[in-house]
Structure 1
């Protein structure tokens, strides 16, 4: 039986740069934004479904949320 020799040298890990946690995981922005947006949409679906059969003229839940965001941003900028 012949001894096997590796065809390529074994690769070694390079140490992480100084000041960084070696166990840190960096995620792209969309990996957090997309699930958050999907959750918000799913959260608004039940309230939007109740407005579908009754046309009372009241603003939808989405419109109310957008109005509230505008109010907060306007108040923050002043």
Structure 2
């Protein structure tokens, strides 16, 4: 025999919390989209950063140690 289900007479509330999104929840994805779109449209602006040779050697040494 199935158990009876109870329905709420009014919609569930969340304790008075505001249901709107904060401003940054829309601004940050929009900013990321516009930035990536600008890089796609003008790829000459997207150059790799020139690293310090000491850091490059450090990463290469770490890679060699991990491979062993």
Classify the TM-score, shorter chain.
0.3 to 0.5
Higher helix share: 2
Alignment TM-score, normalising by the size of structure 2: 0.33
Flag the structure with more relative contact order, 1 or 2, with Cα contacts below 8 A and sequence separation at least 6: 1
Query: TM-score when scaled to structure 1?
Result: 0.30
